[in-house]
Amino acid sequence: MSKNIFLIGFMGAGKSTIARTLREEYGMRLIEMDEQIESQEGKTISQIFADNGEAYFRALETRLLECLEEEENTVVSCGGGVPMRRENVAAMRRSGTIVYLSAAPETIYERVKEFHTRPLLEGNMNVEYIKALMAQRLPKYLSAADVTIETDGKDAGTISSEILQSI
């Protein structure tokens, strides 16, 4: 496979897990956007939000995506907010297929509730908040996506093979 795959979806939708499965089972190169930004800045995402603000972080995401246009055979695990910016969607379209991993708010909550690495969920760790933010973001996820994969109740191997079959 020479095309790139961009995995988009809400926090906790399983983007990182599926990206690792695609790397292990199909030999794709993996870029984890949050990790790359953290190592570039020498800070965690939470520290970047606290020290520099969300707008600064969003600009880093856009800059990183624009650098990925030379990539091939790469799966990119995107931060959950990436498709909110039109220029990010355009950059992803230019270099690959955009796959939206969907999951129910209850599933998301179960996956994220023990972690304190996501500034947007600090103080908002409940299903109602997740549901509301997801509803707000859903139109952008859906309009960005070339393909949507439902992930509830499926294992990583099943999801990865569904992705490869549908692109």
Instruction: Tell me the closest approach of the beta carbon of residue 117 to ligand S3P, in angstroms.
Output: 7
Instruction: Tell me the closest approach of the beta carbon of residue 91 to ligand S3P, in angstroms.
Output: 16
Question: Nearer to ligand S3P by C-beta: 36 or 161?
Answer: 36
Instruction: Tell me the closest approach of the beta carbon of residue 2 to ligand S3P, in angstroms.
Output: 25
Question: Nearer to ligand S3P by C-beta: 84 or 164?
Answer: 84
Instruction: Tell me the closest approach of the beta carbon of residue 115 to ligand S3P, in angstroms.
Output: 9
Show the 3-state SS of the chain.
CCCEEEEECCCCCCHHHHHHHHHHHHCCEEEEHHHHHHHHHCCCHHHHHHHHCHHHHHHHHHHHHHHHHHCCCEEEECCCCHHHCHHHHHHHHHHEEEEEEECCHHHHHHHHCCCCCCHHHCCCCCHHHHHHHHHHHHHHHHHHCCEEEECCCCCHHHHHHHHHHHC
Question: Nearer to ligand S3P by C-beta: 47 or 165?
Answer: 47
Question: Nearer to ligand S3P by C-beta: 4 or 61?
Answer: 61
> Interface residues with ligand S3P (CB under 6 A)?
11, 15, 34, 45, 79-81, 118-120
